[in-house]
Structure formats: structure tokens, C-alpha cells
Amino acid sequence: MNLTPKQLKIFNLIRQWRTLHGYSPTMQELADELSVSKVTVFEHVEALIGKGAITRNPNKARSLSIRSDALPPDEAEGLTFPLVGRIAAGLPIEKCASDETLRLGDLFSPPGGQRASMFALQVEGLSMRDEGILDGDYVIVERRQTARNGERIVALLPSGETTLKTFFKERDGSIRLQPANPDFEPIIVKECVVQGVVIGVMRRY
């Protein structure tokens, strides 16, 4: 499939957005991401539809979806997680995203083949050191909005920053995000958004 650089960027943005949020971006959201006009995005989207890369229901909002037969062979046949950014395992960091992917074969194949519910993050910091999660490691995350006490989660804090910590709901209703390193203090918040639960760790030596 022959896509222009702009078309490929929009194609990857739609994939990434669906992975992170569970739904497709609007034309305006794509335009804002790319700093171009909505008309420009619409033209590229129509071109992608014409080339068979994506589909769209004109009568439904957020209906952009990736055609499975449009994926590169190594992604369609294997298991490739979107590498959506880096996650702090020390002090929180600003949320970030990237267009990279992390291919893991069948190692972390999700139940029922729901690959879209999984993503990868590269760890920065040592606050989870005592649980074997080190700086530079990759954590494989199942996208979920709830967590049980003792699960390691990707948490979006009220400040807009994300962090990787162990989740505990306290009796007074507050949430304790517990590091696994005595050099770091727990983060206590009234609320946070659970973006996913860690199901695996990978390390490159």
C-alpha cells in the first residue's frame, strides 16, 4: 500500500488514538494533533479510505477504524504492541506518546486476541526497583479503568502527569500509589485515573 508521509502519519495517529482511548479521534482532534486545518485532514482521510487503509461510517461519530488487511505483514501476523511513550517509576513525568511499536511475538498474547487492549511503556526511574522493574525496562500494560489493591498500575494524576506505582485504596477513600523503593515516598491523592494494569516486564541487556 503506497501512502504519502502525511497519510501514514494520520494512519498511525488513528491506530495510536484507538489504542490509548479505545475509540477513534474526530477530524478536529486529528487536525489539532497535526496543526493543520480540518479540511486538510478530511482530504487525507478520504485518500486513506480510497486506498483501503481505513474505513469510516459517515453517519456515526468517531467511526474511523483501521482495516486489518492494511497492517504490514509482520504486524498482522505477529503480536506488536504500540510503544506509546515513557512512564515514570520515580517522580511523575508529563504524559507523552510516540509512533513506535514493540513486537513481542506470542510472549504476552492477550486473552481472545484483543491486541488493541494492550500497550507498552518504557520505564524511567527506579521507584519500582524492589519489584524488579528497573530504569529502561518495558512494561506491558492491559488497558483497564479499575484496579485491585496490590496491582501495579499506570496512573494519570490530577496534575496531568503519569506514574507507575502499586495501587492501594485506603479506608478513608484516598488512593495510595506505593513505590517499591525506600528512597521514594508514596503518592497520596484523592483520585486518579487508572489507565492500565501492568501484566509483564521486559528487559534488554
Task: Check residue 15 and give its pLDDT.
Answer: 82
Active site residue 98: no
**pLDDT tens-digit profile of 154-178?**
999 988 889 999 999 999 999 999 9
Give, in order, the Cα–Cα distances in Å from 168 to each of 93, 114, 132, 198: 21, 27, 19, 15
Domain ranges of the chain: 5-70, 77-202
Task: Check residue 71 and give its pLDDT.
Answer: 55
Q: Which of 85, 27, 82 has its CA nearest to residue 54?
A: 27
Catalytic residue among 165, 169, 174, 190: 165
- Please state, in angstroms and rounded to a whole number, the distance separating the CA atoms of residues 203 and 205: 6
Active site residue 169: no
Q: Per CATH, which fold does 5-70 belong to?
A: Arc Repressor Mutant, subunit A (1.10.10)
Task: Check residue 51 and give its pLDDT.
Answer: 84
CATH of domain 77-202: 2.10.109.10
Task: Check residue 68 and give its pLDDT.
Answer: 64
Per-10-residue mean pLDDT of the chain, 205 residues long, equals 80 81 85 89 89 82 75 48 70 60 53 61 91 90 91 92 94 95 94 91 78
Pairing of strands 161-169, 175-178: antiparallel
Catalytic residue among 127, 159, 169, 190: 127
Q: Which backbone phi and psi does 167 adopt, to 5 degrees?
A: -90, 130
